[in-house]
Amino acid sequence: MKNLKKGLLVCLFLFPVLLFAQQDFKLHSHNDYLRNVPFWEAFGAGAASIEVDVILQNGNLMVAHEAETIKPELTLRSLYLEPIQKAVDLGMINAFGFHLLIDSKTEAYSTLEAIVKEVADFEGILFSPQNPKGLKLIVSGNRPKAEDYSKYPEWVFFDYQSKTLTADLPWKKIGIVSLSFRQFSVWNGKGRIVESEKLQLEEFVAAVHSFQKPVRFWAAPDSKSAWKAFYDMGVDFINTDQPAMAQSYLSTLSRNIFSTDSRHEVYQPTFATDGKVAPVKNIILMIGDGNGLAQISAGLFVNGGKLNLAQLKNLGLIKTQAADDFTTDSAAGATAFATGKKTNNRALSVDTSGKPLSNLPEILAEYNFNSGIITTDQLTGATPASFYAHHSERDDLDQIASYLPNSKLDLFIGGGRNSFADKIDAIQASGFEMLGNLDDLALSKADRIGYFSSIGSNPSMEKGRGDFLIKSAMGASAFFKSKNQPFFLMIESAMIDSGGHANSTSTIVTEVLDFDRTVGEMVQFADKNPGTLLIITADHETGGVSIPQGNREKGEVELAFHSDDHTGILVPIFAYGPHSDDFMGIYENNEVFEKVLGLVKKYHSK
């Protein structure tokens, strides 16, 4: 009774998990009776096949693998039949999405006779032509002869275990075909299975399927790599001792895999001034929010092994820690780039005591630079706001927005017009011409330009943002070039971070590819405008992303997530143009500012 109560509590806790959408995989809970809460754990994990070993002893069906482990209270009835009946009575089972695979460890005929007698007490829940959604039993282990299968009730089926598949087998009474995985392969589930062994498995699966029957392999490796391999082979019941973990992995697998037939061409840089000791006139800082090495790698593999980023030669790694936390947020990360000082998380261009810190647009104005910011985020977002506002709390949007009219920016492009609704007059009074169309940007003769791309948040690439980032970057660089003055431009791709928080592979990859297309345009601009230093980096990594598997020929990647938040992983930094080699090495994020300002002071005067 104690075990039953514990089981009910576990199952009630897991009950929401049972409401699975239609899924194209099924799990076999191997040796289920060995779990802390037999049946309920497998049921809660959505297992479609639940295995129980039985030993006939003194007329009782004991649940155990061998006689030495028998415990009098552990019977087929107490561990499985009664809990299943209870689940039906509670309304937790309306239609059976699983069967019991009973592995008979004692003499076939006498054990099966006892099983039939015991299970007959639960006739109301059993499969029949009148109850097609009822419970099926599949007898494995010691079984009667095949010619005797038809003598047993309609709810009894059998586990066929042979490579010999012929049309004269009693297929109507065969519920599943099972073989030891070791008959085909010695693979341990790590790395990749040998191709010839994989082919044998696939051929056997196809042969079983030709008789419209499902297949299972026992003694099989039990790992994520193995589960995916069996899934890809079309194995109907994936054998596992970890049904909850396998369910979690396989149910999100389609969401974690991404590929696309759409690939962009990459630009081949000239490298004419790359790494040369030459004057730096323009500085373009591109920030991929949340864009770590795994995210970049995913974009690379999906795009056929090529990225614009991958053409660049000078790169390093950045430590991202905030002043008050090992793991930075975007506010502290962007403040380090904008001011050269580490600050507390949530703070925008103020020090740890809340005192304003001069940011790059403010400092560079003294050297006759024009400055601009572009973001796919709202303009009050932490990264863009760090380049014009000074405030200790990133969520105080009204206070943050109030800094824009008096900022040293000459250009801003991004979403979030609603946050500036009562400040538009002040923004225009400060000399900003508000564009109604992004296409007008490149040819504008205005002194200062502003453009709100949305009243709230911009859409993601998946939801139709299109070429907004590329058009903004190209238009802004052309706008600044026409002024014949040095300029600083910050370009943020914000939604790589969103994909990391959501653990969305498709969001990450589509945003990385959009960012990379924009990188390509800025590399071309640098080649056409010598003296342009391009810096590409990230404020932090998001999602703890890794790439366990992929397919280079298909341009496919599988991402795994170890977090839904920022991490403290080093992030890459790339540089192109004069003095790009100054950005090589491993260093703190605030040192990017120091390197930039050092070059400004070297070649410009107030």
Known binding site for Zn(2+): residues? 289, 497, 501, 539-540
Q: Which residues are annotated as a binding site for Mg(2+)?
A: 289, 383, 492
Cα-based distances in Å from 294 to 310, 356, 376, 569? 13, 35, 21, 11
53 phi and psi angles, rounded to 5 deg: -90, 135
Q: What is the rounded distance in angstroms from the CA atom of residue 579 to the CA atom of residue 602?
A: 11
Neighbours of 260 (CB within 10 A): 14
Neighbours of 259 (CB within 10 A): 15
| C-alpha dihedral sign at 371, 376, 379, 385 | negative
Q: What is the rounded distance in angstroms from the CA atom of residue 523 to the CA atom of residue 543?
A: 28
Q: Is 101 exposed, middle or buried (0-12, 13-18, 19+ CB in 10 A)?
A: buried
Q: What is the rounded distance in angstroms from the CA atom of residue 583 to the CA atom of residue 587?
A: 9
* Residue among 301, 317, 304, 267 nearest 470 (CA): 267
Q: Which residues are annotated as a binding site?
A: 289, 383, 492, 497, 501, 539-540
Residue 330 is among the residues annotated as catalytic for this protein? yes
Q: What is the rounded distance in angstroms from the CA atom of residue 346 to the CA atom of residue 247?
A: 37
User: H-helix or E-strand containing 139?
Assistant: strand 137-141
Residue 98 in tokens: 């699983």
* Residue among 38, 31, 53 nearest 142 (CA): 53
Q: What is the rounded distance in angstroms from the CA atom of residue 560 to the CA atom of residue 546?
A: 5
Residue 423 in tokens: 């400040």
Residue 451 in tokens: 């453009």
Residue among 330, 453, 472, 580 flagged as catalytic: 330
* Residue among 394, 439, 440 nearest 419 (CA): 394
Give the three-state DSSP class for 511. Answer: helix
Q: What is the rounded distance in angstroms from the CA atom of residue 215 to the CA atom of residue 178?
A: 6
Long-range contacts of the stretch 474-478 (C-beta < 8 A, 24+)? 474/442, 474/521, 474/525, 475/438, 475/439, 475/441, 475/442, 476/372, 476/374, 476/411, 476/413, 476/441, 477/284, 477/522, 477/525, 478/441, 478/442, 478/443
Q: How far is CA 503 from the centre of its chain?
A: 4
Q: How far is CA 244 from the centre of its chain?
A: 19
Cα-based distances in Å from 19 to 43, 447, 560? 11, 59, 24
Q: What is the rounded distance in angstroms from the CA atom of residue 522 to the CA atom of residue 538?
A: 16
Task: Give yes or no for a contact between 410 and 402, defined as CB atoms under 8 angstroms apart.
Answer: no
End-to-end Cα distance, the chain: 84
Q: What is the rounded distance in angstroms from the CA atom of residue 170 to the CA atom of residue 157?
A: 10
Task: Give yes or no for a contact between 539 and 328, defined as CB atoms under 8 angstroms apart.
Answer: yes
Q: Is 180 exposed, middle or buried (0-12, 13-18, 19+ CB in 10 A)?
A: exposed
Write out the catalytic residue numbers. Answer: 330
